[in-house]
Amino acid sequence: MPTLTLRRATADDSRRLTRLIRRSAAYRGDYATMVDGYVVGATYIEHHTVYVAADEDGRVLGFYALLLDEAELDLAFVADGSQGLGIGRLLMEHMTGQARAAGLGAVKVVAHPPAEEFYLRTGAVRTGAVPPSGRIHWERPELRYDVA
């Protein structure tokens, strides 16, 4: 794994995070509508718990966004070329630590279907499924990280 720094995202990271999402191979084909036009805006970053994993050159290789009020992991992405290196696991460990420090007992995840196995491998348990709605025409796994 490359040498990483986990740091709080800033408004200046908005374009990088948006680009990481839009370029994700996991959202091509049928899943493309999920990220079509999606923007991680500066206001979103400033109002939520968003952390990035950056390499020694400052490149953002992954990030997560935790919504404390909803006790929900809203976003989690690792750059395609950096997957399989332990970055996602590191981000989930950090996220659960942040959730615990905030006094949460659990964190909900409504997962992108291809990502379900990743969440299970990093300690989440499946709790159900979210039916299709709006632009999303497929069922999504619902999971939970117990952090207390």
Q: Give residue 122's region: left, alpha or beta (phi > 0; psi -120 to 50).
A: alpha
Q: Taking 90 as the threshold, does the pLDDT of residue 29 lie above it?
A: no
pLDDT of 2 over the 80 cut? no
Helix (H) or strand (E) holding 144: strand 140-146
User: What are the pLDDT digits (tens) for 65-77?
Assistant: 999 999 999 999 9
Q: Which residues contact 96 (CB under 8 A, 6 or more apart)?
A: 107, 123, 145, 147
Distance CA 12, CA 140 (A): 31
Q: pLDDT averaged over the chain?
A: 93
pLDDT at 40 over 90: yes
Predicted local confidence at residue 19, as pLDDT: 93
Q: Over 90: is that where the pLDDT of 12 sits?
A: yes
Distance from C-alpha of 69 to C-alpha of 117, rounded to nearest angstrom:
26
For residue 52, give Cα distances in angstroms to 92, 110, 141. Answer: 11, 20, 24
pLDDT of residue 35 exceeding 90: no
Q: What is the CA radius of gyration of the chain?
A: 15
- pLDDT attached to residue 1: 62
Q: Is the pTM of this model over 0.75?
A: yes
pLDDT tens per residue across span 103-143: 999 999 999 999 999 999 999 999 999 999 888 888 999 99
The predicted pLDDT at position 27 comes to 83
